[in-house]
C-alpha cells in the first residue's frame, strides 16, 4: 500500500489529476485518503454475553452507560442477563464517538451551529463515489460535500459511518446552496433515495447516535437539526418525502 501511494504520488507529479483518478478507479479501493474517507467503522457492535458478565461490566468495557445498554436491548431486569445472549452496543455514547471521530492533528474544531440531513437520492453509494461526483462532475475542489455518510448496505455497510475530509479537516460543507449555511452546518448524507424507500433501521439508529453526539459536542439544539428542505431559502425535496424527520427529531436531544 505504501509502495502504491508512492507510485501514485510520483505519477501525480508527471500526469494530470484525472489520470490518477482513473488509475485508482481501475485498481479499486485503497485510495481512501485521496478520496476523503479517512475512517470507517460499524454503526452497531454485537456482543455475546459471557459467563460472569454483568450489564455494568459490559457497559464499562465499551464506554456506554448501563441505561443506554438496557434501553437499546429492551432489558427490564438487568439481573436476568443470560449467558450467550447477543447485545447491541450502539455508538450513543459520547466517548465512543469522540474516539472514532477524531479530526486530523493540529486541526481546530469549527464552531458548528446546524446539522443538515440529506439523502443521496441514489440507490447505492459511499464517500468515495460521492467524492468523485462532487470533485469531478460538480467541480468542487474540496471533494465530497458532506461531512459524514451513513451506508445502507449497498456500496457501504448498513448503518456504517464514513468520515469525509471536510470533517477531518474541519472545512465548510458544500451540501446546501447557500454558503452562509455551508460555513456553519455539518452535513450528513444517508445513502438511498427516500422519495422511493425508507432509510434502513440501522441507518436511522446510526444517524440518531451521530446527531446526539454532535449536538453534545457543539451545543446544537434540536431546532437546528434540519432536513435539507427545511433550511430557509433552499429549494429541494431532500432528504425525500418518506424520510422520517419528525420521528428522528423526537429521539435526539432537546
Q: Specify the residue, 144 or 238, whose C-beta has the smaller distance to Zn ion.
A: 238
By beta-carbon distance, which residue lies closest to Zn ion?
A: 238
In the complex, minimum distance from the CB of residue 168 to Zn ion, in angstroms, rounded to a whole number: 21
In the complex, minimum distance from the CB of residue 132 to Zn ion, in angstroms, rounded to a whole number: 18
d(CA 56, CA 50): 13
Tell me if 202 contacts Zn ion by CB under 5 A.
no
In the complex, minimum distance from the CB of residue 201 to Zn ion, in angstroms, rounded to a whole number: 22
Return the residue matching grid coordinates 501514485: 8
With b meaning 16 or more CB within 10 Å and e meaning fewer, what string describes 83-122? Answer: eeeebebbbbbeebbeeebeeeeeeeebebebbbbbbbbe
Tell me if 229 contacts Zn ion by CB under 5 A.
no
Size of the site for Zn ion (CB under 5 A): 3
Of how many residues is the chain composed? 254
Q: What is the dihedral of CA 148, 153, 158, 161, to 10 degrees?
A: -20
Q: Contacts with Zn ion in 114-133 (CB under 5 A)?
A: 118
Identify the residue among 228, 231, 243, 252 touching Zn ion (CB under 5 A): 228
185-190: strand order across its sheet: 40-41, 161-163, 148-150, 185-190, 114-119, 225-227
Tell me if 147 contacts Zn ion by CB under 5 A.
no
Tell me if 238 contacts Zn ion by CB under 5 A.
yes
Please report, as ranges, the residues that interact with Zn ion according to CB under 5 A: 118, 228, 238
Amino acid at each position: 500500500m505504501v509502495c502504491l501511494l508512492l507510485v501514485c504520488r510520483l505519477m501525480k507529479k508527471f500526469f494530470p489529476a484525472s489520470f490518477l483518478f482513473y488509475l485508482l478507479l481501475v485498481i479499486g479501493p485503497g485510495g481512501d485518503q485521496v478520496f476523503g474517507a479517512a475512517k470507517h467503522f460499524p454503526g452497531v457492535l454485537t456482543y455475546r454475553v459471557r459467563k460472569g458478565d454483568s450489564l455494568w461490566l459490559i457497559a464499562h468495557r465499551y464506554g456506554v452507560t448501563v441505561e443506554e445498554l438496557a434501553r437499546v436491548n429492551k432489558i427490564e431486569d438487568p439481573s436476568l442477563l443470560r449467558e450467550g445472549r447477543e447485545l447491541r452496543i450502539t455508538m450513543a455514547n459520547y466517548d465512543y464517538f469522540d474516539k472514532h471521530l477524531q479530526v486530523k492533528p493540529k486541526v481546530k474544531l469549527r464552531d458548528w451551529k446546524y446539522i443538515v440531513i440529506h439523502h443521496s437520492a441514489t440507490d447505492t453509494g459511499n464517500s468515495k463515489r460521492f467524492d468523485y461526483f462532487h470533485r469531478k462532475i460538480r467541480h468542487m475542489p474540496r471533494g465530497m460535500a458532506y461531512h459524514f455518510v451513513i451506508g445502507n448496505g449497498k456500496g457501504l455497510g448498513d448503518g456504517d459511518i464514513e468520515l469525509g475530509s471536510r470533517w477531518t479537516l474541519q472545512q465548510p460543507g458544500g451540501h446546501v446552496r447557500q454558503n452562509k449555511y455551508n460555513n456553519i452546518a455539518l452535513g450528513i448524507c444517508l445513502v438511498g433515495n427516500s422519495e422511493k424507500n425508507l432509510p434502513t433501521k440501522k441507518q436511522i439508529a446510526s444517524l440518531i447516535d451521530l446527531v446526539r453526539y454532535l449536538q453534545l459536542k457543539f451545543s446544537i439544539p434540536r431546532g437546528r437539526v434540519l432536513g435539507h428542505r427545511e433550511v430557509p431559502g433552499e429549494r429541494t425535496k431532500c432528504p425525500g418525502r418518506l424520510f422520517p424527520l419528525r420521528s428522528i427529531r423526537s429521539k435526539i436531544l432537546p
